[in-house]
Amino acid sequence: MANFNEQYSRKNNVKILNWKEPEKTPRRTDNANEKAKGENLLQELIKILKEKVKVSVEPQEILAIHRIPGKKRPPPPKDETEAKEPSSELAKVDKEENADQAKDQSTMQEGGGDVKGKKQAKEGVKGQVNQRLKHYVEKQAKEMIKGLSSFSSKNAADVFVSEQLPSIIQGEKCNEKRVIAYSKMCVELCWYMSVQDPPMILVALADGDKMNTEQYSYFGRQGKVVEVCVWPALFLHTGGPLVAKGFVLPK
């Protein structure tokens, strides 16, 4: 190639510069040296640690000094027969870990108490809601019964005449029109009184009771002892004011 360039330059009266390939940078082959340096540094570090903690420390045990909390310390080698006293550094780490665990347990206990308190409060609120719901349902049921009383009173009167009246008035008298009409009217009035909130109440005196002139009037004759209660007294509700006096036939 060099001879060709010289002939070409003489013939054409030009100068041709010979091109040279750039020198390649030799690759580093000192990895072994760096590895040796690293091993030397590691041995020096182990030596320093041995002098500091005054125990035999192997390379695999270096990380045990600053281990992650919660993980167990690697067991000692099997050929180690003599028990070694823990170093001050290891004891310090154990003490810190125990303190952290105690703190976590106390936090969990406090959190459990908070959860228990919240659960009790939730159950208390639930009980109050159920009580209010029960009261609301009962109130709405009473209002519905009161609203349907114009229809239900007639049904109640028919049931009373067909099932109860024959046991009260026996014979053909229970089939008389006037008795049936009067019985139905009484049942309807009693039904209207019972659907009130609170319901009205009828109180009748029994045979042998003392006469109470504030709540009952005499029927036919006067006396101090009741023989027959002709008509019971009507009260607005249990223990409430008197609406209408009853009638009593005394002895």
* CATH code of 201's domain: 2.30.22
Q: Which residue has the tokens 């005054």?
A: 54
Residue 30 falls inside a structural domain: no
Residue 164 falls inside a structural domain: no
Residue 231 falls inside a structural domain: yes
DSSP secondary structure code for residue 171 in this structure: S
Q: How many domains does the chain have?
A: 2
For the record, the structure tokens of 98 come out as: 């125990």
Question: In 3D, which of 180, 177, 176 has the Cα closest to residue 188?
Answer: 180
Question: pLDDT tens digit string along 126-136?
Answer: 777 777 888 88
Question: pLDDT tens digit string along 27-67?
Answer: 555 566 766 776 777 677 677 666 655 444 444 544 444 44
Residue 91 falls inside a structural domain: yes
Question: pLDDT tens digit string along 198-227?
Answer: 888 889 988 888 888 899 999 888 888 899
Q: What is the pLDDT of residue 44?
A: 74
User: Which of helix, strand or coil describes residue 81?
Assistant: coil
Q: Is the pLDDT of residue 251 over 80?
A: yes
Range(s) of the domain holding residue 101:
57-74+86-123
Q: Is the pLDDT of residue 15 over 80?
A: no
Residue 51 falls inside a structural domain: no
The contacts of residue 190 (CB under 8 Å, 6+ apart) are: 202
Is the Cβ–Cβ distance between 245 and 205 less than 8 Å?
no
Residue 128 falls inside a structural domain: no
Q: Is the pLDDT of residue 120 over 80?
A: no
pTM: 0.39
Residue 69 falls inside a structural domain: yes
Mean pLDDT, range 116-134, rounded to an integer: 72
Question: pLDDT tens digit string along 27-36?
Answer: 555 566 766 7
Estimate to the nearest angstrom the gap between the alpha carbon of 226 and the chain centroid: 62
